[in-house]
Amino acid sequence: MKNTFVVGSRKSQLALTQTEWVIEKLKKLYPNIRFEIKEIVTKGDKILDVTLSKVGGKGLFVKEIEQALLDGEIDFAVHSMKDMPAEMAEGLTIGAVPEREDPRDCLISNQDYTIETLPIGAKVGTSSLRRAAQIVAYRPDLKIESIRGNVNTRLSKLETDGLNAIILAAAGLKRMNWQDRITQYLDVDLCLPAVGQGALGIQVRENDQETIQMLQSIDDQETRMIISAERALLHHLQGGCQIPIGAYARWQNDQIHLVGMVAAVDGKRILKAEVTGSKEEAVSLGIKVANQLLQQGADQILAEVKEGR
């Protein structure tokens, strides 16, 4: 095995923290190997004055990193799984999916408001159509403000933008050791997470058997299976992280229980479906839930979202 591996990462503090976490896990198993981080700026990092849904396209936070992989500039890359398009770039594969962190969304408020106690007409910041739709379905009086930027930037907007609260992924705050900022964890019944939220996807060239073999040592099979169910749903719906699609798979008595959701942006229509099945059926469970959502009219909602960009 070679003695140095170059690891691709976005430049944000959270992305680097996640990448360093993966490297530490590998170092414990391979103490003689050196790991170098190559920071890469993606299109999603550059465009901060427009909502993600209006930028459109797939792979806003991964495309440049995938290109670096294909060009041989890096050996593997650490992504937030929820940023990864349902369809993998040709020649690349997921070498490892480590154990999942908390998949829930959470609310942060300097006044310690919860989603229930926010004043009527309160301003809530989020960059996600999925979060916005579910929040206004629960509290139609709330005003959603679009906020972009890394976790630090979005937290600072609580002070600078007159927001009463913001919604973020709990996993990012926990990985940064900032969980004390969390005012309320949102139950998945209220706010279904994004596909793969809380999980990391370690991407590698599919012909690089040496790196794949090393990465398999930190792969968590149980996490990989439930994530594959969620991603199969996303793939079948032809959705991306800029569309209001949610999915959450979890283990129930050695079986996978998967809930999927498609929402209209205004939160007035939220379609949900769920199934339970064996671990061998992980991918087919995702397709099954996607088909149930399509039968309920999800294709019409998704077409409206795409047209409204």
Quote the distance between the C-alpha of residue 146 and its chain's center. 18
Q: Copy the structure tokens of residue 224.
A: 């990989």
**How many other C-beta atoms are found inside a 10 Å radius of the C-beta of residue 220?**
15
What number of helices (H) and strands (E) belong to the chain? 11, 13
Whether the CB-CB separation of 245 and 234 falls below 8 Å is answered with yes
Active-site option among 83, 102, 105, 208: 83
- Cβ within 8 Å of residue 267, ≥6 positions away: 132, 133, 134, 135, 136, 137, 140
Q: CA 115, 116, 121, 126: dihedral to nearest 10 degrees? A: 10
Q: Give the CA distances from residue 247 to residues 159, 189, 250, 290, in Å, rounded to whole numbers and listed in that order.
A: 32, 11, 10, 10
**What is d(CA 66, CA 72) in angstroms, rounded to the nearest whole number?**
10
| Secondary structure letter of residue 180 according to DSSP | G
Alpha helix stretches (DSSP H) within 87-198: 129-138, 151-160, 170-175
Q: Residue 136: what are its φ and ψ, rounded to 5°? A: -75, -20
Tell me whether residue 83 is one of the annotated catalytic residues. yes
Report the catalytic residues: 83
